[in-house]
Amino acid sequence: MKYSRTRMAIAIAGALALTSTLVACGDDKKDSAADANAAVTLNVVGLLPGAKPEAQKALADEVADFQKENPKITVKTKDYEWKATTFAADLAGGTLPTVFEIPFTDAKTLIANGQIADMQSSLSTLSYAGNFNKNLLQYGQGPDGHTYAIPAKSVYAIGLHYNRDLFTSAGLDPNKPPTTWDEVRSAAKAIATKNPGVAGFAQMAKDATGGWQLTVDTYARGGRLEDGKKATLTNDATKASLQFLKDMRWTDNSMGANFDYDWTGINQAFAAGKVGMYTSGQDVYTSLVQTNNINPKQYGLTMIPLTGSDAGVLGGGTMAAVAKTATANEKAAAVKWIDYHYLRKYTNQDAAKKNAEIQVASKQPVGTPELPIFSQQQYQTYQDWIKSYVNVPLDQMTSFTTKVFDAKLVNEPAIATQDVYKSLDTVVQAVLTDKNADIDKLLTDANAKAQRAIDSAG
Amino acid sequence: MTGQHQAREGKSTMTVTNPTGRRDAGLAAASAWGQTPGGAGPAGSPKAVRLRKRRKSNFEGGRGYVSEKDWRTPRVRFTMRTLHTVLLALLLVVGVGPMLLLAKFAITPTQDIIRTPLAIFPHGVALSNISIAWNEVQIRLYFMNTIWLAIGSWFVQMVVATTGGYVLSVLRPAWGKIVNGLVIATLFVPSVVLLVPLYLTVLNPPVIGTSLINNFLAVWLPAGASAFNVVLMTRFFDGLPREVFEAAKVDGASSFRLFWSVVLPMSKPILGVVSVFALITSWKDFLWPMLVLKDPTKQPLSVRLPAIASQTDLGVFLAALAISTLIPVIFFIAFQRLFLSGAGLGGAVKG
Amino acid sequence: MSAPGALRPTGNHQPGTDRRPRRRSLATWVQRGGLSSVLFALPVLIIFGVFSWWPIVRSIVMSFQKTNLIGTPTWVGWKNFEFVLTDPDLPKAILNTLYFALLALVFGYPLPLVTAVLISSVRRRKGLYSVLAYLPVVVPPVVAVLLWKFFYDGAPDGVFNTILGYVGLGPYAWLSDQSLAMPSLVLEATWAAAGGTVIIYLAALLSVPDELYDAAEVDGAGIWRRVWHVSMPQLRGVLLITFILQIIGTVQVFLEPYLFTGGGPAGATLTVLLMIYDYAFGRSLGGNYGAATALSVLLATFLAILSLVYFKLTSGWSKS
């Protein structure tokens, strides 16, 4: 009851374009009016579990700096990895930190279910609240036009990551990564032949990541997986993508022996030099450093090959959301932390430099390419601010960074995203583990499952 | 296989482990127990003695189907000796082999494990694996959590089983039958049914009002609802000589005193057995702690090990596995009699 | 103790011992131990009430409801059951589960029996044999699975592939092969559990009275015939019980498919329990608790029928 009252109050506030929370919250001070002088303890998402001590130190420095700026707020970080298969239990169990991270695709449903807090009024206290890239911001907005989840980090387009050392070992030029799928295939074959036990090309296949990456492949060949409320998994692009995997797996035998990679697993294998190429978000380099101790010299990033007129690069990202149960004080503190930790560096030169300093001091990656959360121009400015701090091998990523802004970005399937992905997991796994897999039949079955998920998502 | 086995005095039953890892004696205890001829009756001191004797005879005595005469026949002796040697070799390879491998991997450099898993220390040993696992990967923390969880679960199970058995067997109030029936009924409900509602109960427990997620109580308390333990205890108390109770009552002993100073001291054998079960079950538990202990710093080894698998250096990870195996194995070697007669008696527990 | 064949509920009273006069006043009730009975029963009542009885009832209720833990649950009739029964994955999960149970019987049923029969004829150091056979059982199951997962590495330099390579076999993909995945799971599960069954059989074998063997020998029965005609009939009851209870146990298999393969590859190791888990806890946008409880109620019903069969069979056996 109190929530709806608050929400109505905020709705009125929003309608009047008022930015002060005090005005909006009227009678319900306890619940809605943040008391700037109250001491707050804020639990937030920290690093991935297993992050190296240096990364932990950089985060601790950030927290200390933030607390100096906000003496009344105590920030507690908690290692966390979002996984499609565990998030629901974490949410239901109330064990998520107050500020947590969700993928773009899940925000709408969480808003509709009333599972995350309305951040409209708190967000509007930030000077740059109006400058968000509208296409990104809309993911986190409810039917009432309010912003619930805030685009925060890891805004990515999918890239093709490759191991430069393995390219060299196979007689390939690491400065000329493949630009077509055929070149990917022959490079994979060359790598696998020259390096027994190494996968020339590897594909995630587990816990919805298989479907995610197959969607990437489909988009890159001009296909789509949903048309409104209709599942279109049986399209030609998806079939071609699967055939491509099948050829590499069974004709060339260039995909190694492990076919149950998930996001962490494939990162680890890649950093350990057991994978020649794989597709994943462009920003994965950060995690490869923080968690997997990758040798920067071996890393290369290029565009995923695009074929067909409608071809696009799948894009996505991470939003910061606040627990529904957060008090007004926590929400106010949360927005300060979101500002400090995720966003301010893009919009404020001093903050950008300070953040870069902290990261560099602990040998954490600075300058990993991302897509702009605000305008592209703003992003370029930010790049200039941190230029002298950049410690990632940007010159090994130029074939990606010079082209990504020209590519068409395509959003992930909008409805029942993770369920659609999971239904495709099965198909990917089948193609990789069964020589005689019938792609058409597998896709027909998966399509039925996906349609069922879309229907029950309403 | 999620079977637990129990045999008693030659006849055996087996129980089913539920997905929450709690013992769910499924049917077994309730039904087979009562009907096992001569079973179910370890009783007061005389029977305890019998139990001890039997333990010895269980694994050493008996001449079995090969008679003394047979043994004197060279052909039989040769055949049997050969079979036994082969069996011993197989048991060593299958039973001990994987653990020796694990012990070797625990101190082998990761690159050697990956490239030449079976070569014997081609590039020396890496004892650092163990210290990294213990300190940096914080195995010691998860280790202590495992121990705390085991101790707490053991305590709750003992309290519930002993008091419950005491009420149902010794005090015998009129309504005891109903309680007894309800307890036994839960043996017939496979615990998978409990998974979701139990989880929701822990999320929002009655009276306490605050979620027990990330609280050890969420593991300790449900562990107590083991009908298997209560049945075991009740059966044992049933076999105690009632005259002793009556005598104590005549002497003016209160119910509590009777329980603490008469019944419990007479029940040491069964307390030992239930304790071993409780500790082992808890050590092996996985799904339930995974669901209710989300905070990594609260998790036991069984939950933590799979979670760190993909982000830990292989050598270090295998060292962590070795550490987690060491304690149960040492425990087993030290108390093998108790374990094996326990396996024969009430059930080696495999979650 | 109890007479053979009599199934008596625990705490069952000997006639006469509990017929106390009806008490009227509270004081007499307390004096007679009524209060202390209640106090001693509290742990059982509270723990079972909250963590067993109530969840069981709630499970049935929830299987007819839709809830997301935030709003009030709504009644949806049989919809959850409909949803579960029309799930395209269900037939596969059922078949896989039965396949697991069947393989577990094929691997795990005769092997412990042969082992136990052999151990029982060892004259000295039976204890050593028993300890060795039982050792895998004390390895924590999660550790066993993770260790075997490493052994099962599909690369040519994986542990098993290296060993098999010595005799010119493989390399096999093990867990990444749709037809090998399930047998691989069962192999590990058998390794981890067979020791317990060996000890049960061994205990049963050793309790066969030597006189029976003597009599058979006098009748001229050789060793093999003594095993077949004396030992085996004595084991019949134990064998029947382990048979049915092993099925009941394996039908609820979760740990192995969850940790080894997560149900893959391509659903080859998806089991019913994995589906229940996935409905309730594996979906990123909120658990379908209705579907999860509906499927568990269905599974429970199936197991109850199995138990009933078991019950009939064992009571038949113990009377004979």
List, for residues A353-374, the tens digit of each pLDDT value. Answer: 988 988 898 888 998 988 889 8
Q: How far is C304 from chain B (nearest CA, A)?
A: 7
DSSP calls for A127-142: TTGGGS-HHHHGGGB-
Per residue in B36-62, pLDDT (tens digit) is 333 333 333 333 334 444 444 445 556
Instruction: Verify whether the Cβ–Cβ distance B292 to A93 is below 8 Å.
Output: yes
With CA atoms as reference, the chain C residue closest to B351 would be C141
Do A221 and A356 sit in the same domain of this protein? no
Distance CA A147, CA A118 (A): 6
Q: How far is B165 from chain C (nearest CA, A)?
A: 8
What kind and span of H or E run contains A218? helix A209-220
User: What residues make up the domain containing C203?
Assistant: 82-319
Distance CA A243, CA C134 (A): 48
C211 touches chain B (CB under 8 A): no
What is the average per-residue pLDDT within A385-390? 92
B120 touches chain C (CB under 8 A): no
Least-confidence region, from A112-126, B311-325, C6-20, C140-154: C6-20
Q: Please name the residue that has the structure tokens 């953040």.
A: A355
Determine contact, residues B174/C34, Cβ cutoff 8 Å: no
User: What residues make up the domain containing B31?
Assistant: 17-35+136-345
With CA atoms as reference, the chain B residue closest to A265 would be B310
Contacting residues of C for A93, CB less than 8 Å apart: none
C residues 120..179 contacting A (CB < 8 A): 153-158, 171, 173, 175-178
Which distant-in-sequence residues (6+ apart) come within 8 Å of C307 by Cβ? B26, B27, B188, C248
Contacting residues of B for C299, CB less than 8 Å apart: 190, 192-193
Do A103 and A29 sit in the same domain of this protein? yes
Q: Please name the residue that has the structure tokens 């808890």.
A: B282
Does A382 fall in a domain? no
Does C4 fall in a domain? no
pTM of this structure:
0.82
Contacting residues of A for B291, CB less than 8 Å apart: 89, 93
**E-assigned strand segments in A402-447:** 409-410
Question: How many distinct structural domains can be found in chain B?
Answer: 1
Q: How far is B296 from chain C (nearest CA, A)?
A: 17
With CA atoms as reference, the chain C residue closest to B280 would be C138
Do A227 and A343 sit in the same domain of this protein? no
Instruction: Verify whether the Cβ–Cβ distance A94 to B213 is below 8 Å.
Output: yes
DSSP calls for A63-84: HHHHHHH-TTEEEEEE-----T
Highest average pLDDT, of A310-319, B44-53, C246-255, comes from A310-319
Do C224 and C278 sit in the same domain of this protein? yes
Does C68 fall in a domain? no
Give the CATH number for residue A294: 3.40.190.10
DSSP letter at A156 equals E
B61 touches chain C (CB under 8 A): yes
Q: Are strands A150-163 and A226-227 parallel, antiparallel or unpaired?
A: unpaired
Distance CA A211, CA A417 (A): 9
Least-confidence region, from B174-178, B257-261, C303-307: C303-307
User: What residues make up the domain containing A115?
Assistant: 2-152+317-361
Do C175 and C35 sit in the same domain of this protein? no
A245 or B278: which leads in pLDDT: A245
With CA atoms as reference, the chain B residue closest to A287 would be B311
pLDDT at A235: 95
Do A287 and A299 sit in the same domain of this protein? yes
Reported confidence tier of residue A458, pLDDT bands at 50, 70, 90: low
Question: How many distinct structural domains can be found in chain A?
Answer: 2
B210 touches chain A (CB under 8 A): no
Q: Which tokens is C104 given?
A: 């577990």
Of residues C47, C128, C208, nearest to B225 (C-beta): C47
Instruction: Verify whether the Cβ–Cβ distance B213 to A48 is below 8 Å.
Output: no
Determine contact, residues A66/A358, Cβ cutoff 8 Å: no
Do A321 and A442 sit in the same domain of this protein? no
Q: Is residue A394 predicted with pLDDT exceeding 60?
A: yes
What is the average per-residue pLDDT within A164-183? 95
Contacting residues of A for C278, CB less than 8 Å apart: 85
Of residues B203, B307, B310, nearest to A268 (C-beta): B310
Q: Which of B137, B291, B297, B311 to mutate to test the interface with A (most CBs of A within 10 A)?
A: B311
> Percent of chain A, pLDDT > 90?
50
Name the domain boundary from A361, A376, A395.
A361
Does C102 fall in a domain? yes
Intra-chain end-to-end CA distance of chain A, in Å: 25
Contacting residues of B for A265, CB less than 8 Å apart: 310
What is the average per-residue pLDDT within C160-168? 90
Q: Is residue C5 predicted with pLDDT exceeding 70?
A: no
Do A72 and A213 sit in the same domain of this protein? no
**Could you give the residue ranges of the DSSP H alpha helices within B240-335?**
242-250, 255-257, 264-266, 268-284, 287-292, 301-308, 314-334
Q: Which tokens is B351 given?
A: 């979650």
Reported confidence tier of residue C314, pLDDT bands at 50, 70, 90: low
pLDDT at A193: 95
Q: Is the ipTM of this complex over 0.90?
A: no
Q: Given 3-state DSSP classes, what are the helix, strand and coil percentages for chain A, each rounded to the nearest 5?
A: 50, 15, 35
Question: How many distinct structural domains can be found in chain C?
Answer: 2
Give the CATH number for residue C304: 1.10.3720.10
Give the CATH number for residue B233: 1.10.3720.10
Contacting residues of B for C241, CB less than 8 Å apart: 12-14, 28, 32
Residue of A122, A70, A75, A133 lying closest to A335 (CA atoms) = A122
Does A183 fall in a domain? yes
Strand partners, C233: none
What is the average per-residue pLDDT within B270-299? 88
Do A164 and A306 sit in the same domain of this protein? yes
Of residues B91, B198, B351, nearest to C141 (C-beta): B351
B211 touches chain A (CB under 8 A): yes
Distance CA A259, CA A242 (A): 14
Task: Report the SS3 class of residue A221.
Answer: coil
Instruction: Verify whether the Cβ–Cβ distance C287 to A85 is below 8 Å.
Output: no
Least-confidence region, from A58-72, B251-265, B321-335, C200-214: C200-214
Do C268 and C189 sit in the same domain of this protein? yes
Q: Is residue A14 predicted with pLDDT exceeding 60?
A: no
Contacting residues of B for C226, CB less than 8 Å apart: 65
Determine contact, residues B298/B216, Cβ cutoff 8 Å: yes
Do C285 and C171 sit in the same domain of this protein? yes
Task: Report the SS3 class of residue A376.
Answer: helix
Do C205 and C271 sit in the same domain of this protein? yes
Q: Which tokens is B93 given?
A: 């390879």
Do C45 and C93 sit in the same domain of this protein? no
B57 touches chain C (CB under 8 A): yes
Does C66 fall in a domain? no
Do C250 and C299 sit in the same domain of this protein? yes
Do C135 and C37 sit in the same domain of this protein? no
In terms of residues, how long is chain C?
320
What is the average per-residue pLDDT within C211-217? 85
pLDDT at B30: 32
CB atoms within 10 A of CB A6: 20
Do A121 and A162 sit in the same domain of this protein? no
Residue type, B236: F
Do A322 and A308 sit in the same domain of this protein? no
Which distant-in-sequence residues (6+ apart) come within 8 Å of C241 by Cβ? B12, B13, B14, B28, B32, C310, C314
C233 touches chain B (CB under 8 A): no
Mean pLDDT, chain C, whole residue set: 84
Reported confidence tier of residue B6, pLDDT bands at 50, 70, 90: very low
Strand partners, B12: B7
Q: Which chains touch A (3 or more CB pairs under 8 A)?
A: B, C
What is the average per-residue pLDDT within C23-33? 72
CA A287 to chain centre: 11
pLDDT at A12: 36
Does B50 fall in a domain? no
CB contacts < 8 A, A to C, total 107
With CA atoms as reference, the chain A residue closest to C278 would be A85
Q: Which chains touch B (3 or more CB pairs under 8 A)?
A: A, C
